[in-house]
Structure 1
C-alpha cells in the first residue's frame, strides 16, 4: 500500500497522524506544493503572502525535507496547484491512498475537494491542528458554544487532550527520483527582505527551531513561570512564548506544547502561568472550531453577527495605517514593527485593529488581509477571528474599543517601545511621547520633532473619534 502524504500547514514529523498511519500501512511518499494562489496580488494592492512570511515558510520546508531525510525518506516539492500536481504523482508513483490534515475554512476546503475530485483513490483527512480532537469535545462540531467562556469551561471539565504521537521507529518510503527544488523568494516573485535587527526575536522556520524555542522558554530560561505576568511586554524575546509562527504552519503541534507544559508542571513548577499557556491554546482551538461552524461568515464585513455596516474604504487612510504614518505613536510603532519584522505583540494587534475598525470606522477586512500578508504567524482562524472580535462583529458583539493613548501609557509608560520603532521621537520627553501633538511649536523645536516634517500630525482627533464610536453604539 503506497500512501501519499500531502503537507500544507503541518510541516513536521513529530505528532503527525497521517505520517504515523501511513507508515503502519505500507510505503510512504510526502509532498508539499507551493500553490501560486497563496502568493498572488490581492485586490487591496499587496501580496497574499509577502516576503518575510514566505521566507519563514521556505525555511520550514527546508527543515521538513531534512527531517524526512533523517528517517530515510524524501519530501517532494512542486510549484503549482495541488489538484493538478497530485493526479500525476498518483499515477507515476502508483499511489493507493492520500492522507492529509484537514483545514476548516472555505478556501482551503475548496482545494481539498478539488484534490479529491482529481483522483480516484481513497483520501483521508485527519485532525491535527487542534489541541482538543473533535471526537473528544463534549459537544458536536455544529454546536460549538457561542461564547468562549462556555467552550473553555466545558472542555476543561469534560474534554481530554491526547498525547502527541511519536515519530514512527521505522518507515518504508517510496523511491523518489525527482524530489524537486525548494524555491527561493525570487522564484515566488518576491523581493529578498532581511528582517530588521530591532526585531524581538530572530525567527527561523522549521521543526527544529520550534523545539529549540520551546526548550529555551520552558526549561532553559524558566520563563514559563512568568508568562501570565509578562505576556503583555512589547520589547524582548522572553516576555511571551513567541511560539505562534511555528504553530501557525504546523512546525510544532498544540498537543506537543500542551504535553510539554504538563511535563514542566511535574518537573519544574505549576502556577497560574502554566495554566494560562493552556488557556491561550484553548482560545486558539475556539477560533478554529468557530471558523468551521460559521464558514464564510467570518470573512464578511458584518461577521458572524451579520451586522449591516457602512465602513470606509479609502486607500489614502489605509495607506497611512499600513505604513505606520497615522501620527499616533503607539499605532505607528506597532505597524512599523509588523512591516519590518513580520511580528507584532498581541497587545499591539488589539490596538491597531481597534484603531482601524473603530477609530477610523474602516472596513476591518483590509486590515485582516494586511496581517495575512505580513505576519509570520498568520493563522486563518485566529487572525480573522481576532479581527472580527476587535471589530465588534465576532464573538463579542459589544461596542468595545481601546483607548489608544491609555493603552500606550499603561504598557509603554516610559516610551521605550515607541522610541525603539520611531527614532524621530527619540528626544521627545515621556510626557509627550505618546501624544506629541500636545507639544507647542517651541517644544517641538527643542525636542527635534516638528510635526508635519519629522513626524506626521495625527490623522484624526482621537477624542472626537471615541465620541463617534459611542454614537454608533
Structure 2
C-alpha cells in the first residue's frame, strides 16, 4: 500500500489544505504528524520565552481540534514532543512512507528546520515535497519570479497583485482517510508543563474574546462575525476600536495557526457582497488580507535581514538595551496610561488591538530607543496570534527599519485622546484610574496633588509617574530625521 506523511506546522486544519488533499488523492494511507518542537519552547535572542502560556494553550487546543477532525475522517494525528528531523525518518522507516508533504514557511528558523528535515529524510526512501498555503495569493500565481521582484512598498505590491493575479478557490476537506497503521502510536498532546512553559492561566473575562484554538472555533468566528452578527458591513468604521469582541474581526489567531485560511475569508466576503452588501468595509477586509500577504512576501524576500538591528533598510540606529526601560514597558508601568493599558491587556489575554500595537511599538523603539527586536521578541512570546512575518514585519515597519518610506512615530497621548476619548479603555485595564476624570485620564501626572487626592490616584503610589517626558522624546526623534 502507498503511504504518505503530511507534516503539519502552521496549518492546523483539514479544509483548504492542499497538501492533505494531494496526499489523500494519491496514496492509500495518509499519516498526519505534528511535532511540538522543543526549540519553539526555548528562549529568544533576549532570553525571553519564545512561547508563553497563553499562546501555548491556543496551540495545544488547535492541535487537539485537528486530531478530532482527523478522527472523524477515520484517521488520527500522530503527536510527538520532539524535533521533526528526529521524528519523521523514524516514521518513514516504520511505515514505508514514500513521500513527506508539508507547507513551505518563510521565517529563517522555520527554513532551518525544513533543511534539517530534508537532510534527515535523505537517508530514507521518502521524498519531501512542498506546498504554499499561507497567503491569499498563491506564490505560483503572484507576479514575482524571484524574491527580489517583490516591491518594497505596500501600494505597488497590492496593485501588482490585484492586476496580475487571481485568488485560487478553496479546497474541500477529504471525505475519508484510512486509519493509522497498527504500528504507529498516535501519542498524547503535551501539557504546558510538559512543554516547559511556565503557567497555564485561566481565560480573563476582561479580554475581547476567549480565543479558543482550532479549526472548528476559527470557522465559527468567521460565521459569527460576518453572518450571524452581521458586522462585516461596518468593519472599516469600527476596526480601530479597543473594547469588545466585534470592533474588528479578530480572525488573526486562527489565521496565524493555519486553522483557517485567507482564501476562506475571501470567499465568505464575496458571498456577503453577493447576498447582503458590497461597500468600503467589505473591500477593506480584503485589503487587510493583502497587507498580511505583503509581510509574508517581504519576509520571503528579506531572509535573515529582517531580524538584523538595522532591519530591511540597514538603518544605523544606536539602539539602547536598558533593562529598566524594557521592564517598565513590558509590565505596563511606564506611567503613560495608553501604553500601560495595552501592555496589561497583552500580558493578561495574549491579544492587543492593531492601534495599540502601533503605539506600544513606537513607545519602545522611538521614545525609549530600545532595540526594536526586544519588543518583537516579547510579542512573539505573548501574542496568541503570533505570526513570524506579520509580527516582525510590523515591528520593523513601526521602528524606522522596515518598509515604510516615511520616518514615522506616534504621538501617544493624541492617539489615546482620539481612539479612547472617554478613557473607558484605560480605565478597563487600569482600575487605579477609575475615578480620574476624562480630562486627566490620559495624563494623570498633570493633576495637582489636591486633585490626585480627590480622585484616589496618588502618583508614585497608586499609579506611576511618567517614566519619560514624551514631548522631549518627540523633539529628539525629529532632530534625528
- Which TM-score bucket, shorter chain as reference? over 0.9
Partner of residue 56 from structure 2, selected from 50, 54, 69: 54
Partner of residue 97 from structure 2, selected from 88, 95, 98: 95
Give the alignment of 1:383-394 within 5 angstroms. 383-394=391-402
Q: Tell me how large the CA RMSD over aligned residues is.
A: 0.9
Partner of residue 88 from structure 2, selected from 86, 89, 100: 86
Q: Secondary structure at the match of 2:370?
A: coil
Q: Secondary structure at the match of 2:410?
A: coil
Alpha-carbon deviation of 1:174?
3.8
Partner of residue 72 from structure 1, selected from 71, 74, 94: 74
| CA distance in structure 2 between the aligned counterparts of 1:408 and 1:33, rounded to whole angstroms | 42
1:189 correspondence with 2:190: no
Relative to the length of structure 2, the TM-score reads 0.97
Q: Secondary structure at the match of 2:288?
A: helix
- The answer for the alignment partner of 1:168 in structure 2 is 174
1:128 correspondence with 2:148: no
Relative to the length of structure 1, the TM-score reads 0.99
Alpha-carbon deviation of 1:43?
4.5
Alpha-carbon deviation of 1:157?
1.6
Q: Secondary structure at the match of 1:32?
A: strand
Contact 1:46 1:373 in 2 (8 A): yes
1:20 correspondence with 2:28: no
| CA distance in structure 2 between the aligned counterparts of 1:386 and 1:315, rounded to whole angstroms | 23
Give the alignment of 1:227-246 within 5 angstroms. 227-246=235-254
| CA distance in structure 2 between the aligned counterparts of 1:369 and 1:138, rounded to whole angstroms | 32
Contact 1:331 1:351 in 2 (8 A): yes
| CA distance in structure 2 between the aligned counterparts of 1:156 and 1:442, rounded to whole angstroms | 59
Q: Secondary structure at the match of 1:11?
A: coil
Contact 1:134 1:141 in 2 (8 A): no
Partner of residue 284 from structure 1, selected from 292, 301, 312: 292
Q: Which moved more, 1:46-55 or 1:34-43?
A: 34-43
The list of structure 1 runs, each at least 4 consecutive aligned residues, that deviate by more than 6 angstroms after superposition, is none
Post-superposition CA distance 1:365-401 (Å, at most 9, x none): 0000000000000000000000000001100142200
- The answer for the alignment partner of 1:218 in structure 2 is 226
Alpha-carbon deviation of 1:112?
0.4
Alpha-carbon deviation of 1:173?
4.3
Post-superposition CA distance 1:121-145 (Å, at most 9, x none): 2110100011100111123232011
| CA distance in structure 1 between the aligned counterparts of 2:212 and 2:414, rounded to whole angstroms | 34
Unaligned runs of 5+ in 1: none
| CA distance in structure 2 between the aligned counterparts of 1:424 and 1:170, rounded to whole angstroms | 56
| CA distance in structure 2 between the aligned counterparts of 1:442 and 1:377, rounded to whole angstroms | 43
| CA distance in structure 2 between the aligned counterparts of 1:140 and 1:439, rounded to whole angstroms | 59
Alpha-carbon deviation of 1:267?
1.4
Contact 1:389 1:397 in 2 (8 A): no
- The answer for the alignment partner of 1:417 in structure 2 is 425
- The answer for the alignment partner of 2:208 in structure 1 is 200
- The answer for the alignment partner of 1:39 in structure 2 is 41
Alpha-carbon deviation of 1:159?
1.0
Q: Secondary structure at the match of 2:96?
A: coil
Q: Secondary structure at the match of 2:208?
A: coil
| CA distance in structure 1 between the aligned counterparts of 2:271 and 2:389, rounded to whole angstroms | 28
| CA distance in structure 1 between the aligned counterparts of 2:50 and 2:166, rounded to whole angstroms | 36
Contact 2:315 2:400 in 1 (8 A): no
Post-superposition CA distance 1:266-303 (Å, at most 9, x none): 11211111100000000000100110011011111111
Q: Secondary structure at the match of 2:172?
A: coil
Post-superposition CA distance 1:95-115 (Å, at most 9, x none): 111000000121101100110
- The answer for the alignment partner of 2:332 in structure 1 is 324
Alpha-carbon deviation of 1:307?
1.4
| CA distance in structure 2 between the aligned counterparts of 1:187 and 1:263, rounded to whole angstroms | 43
Distance 1:42 1:294, change over 3 A: closer
Q: Secondary structure at the match of 1:237?
A: coil
Unaligned runs of 5+ in 2: none
1:359 correspondence with 2:367: yes
Partner of residue 116 from structure 1, selected from 80, 98, 118: 118
Partner of residue 435 from structure 2, selected from 427, 431, 434: 427
Post-superposition CA distance 1:226-260 (Å, at most 9, x none): 10000000000000000000000000011111111
- The answer for the alignment partner of 1:29 in structure 2 is 31
Contact 1:83 1:118 in 2 (8 A): yes
Contact 2:215 2:259 in 1 (8 A): yes
Q: Which moved more, 1:170-179 or 1:122-131?
A: 170-179
Post-superposition CA distance 1:401-420 (Å, at most 9, x none): 00000000000000000000
Contact 2:153 2:405 in 1 (8 A): no
Give the alignment of 1:300-379 within 5 angstroms. 300-379=308-387
Contact 2:15 2:172 in 1 (8 A): yes
Contact 1:141 1:289 in 2 (8 A): no
1:178 correspondence with 2:185: yes
Contact 1:437 1:451 in 2 (8 A): yes
Contact 2:16 2:171 in 1 (8 A): yes
| CA distance in structure 2 between the aligned counterparts of 1:173 and 1:74, rounded to whole angstroms | 7
1:155 correspondence with 2:161: yes
Alpha-carbon deviation of 1:154?
1.4
Partner of residue 109 from structure 2, selected from 107, 110, 116: 107
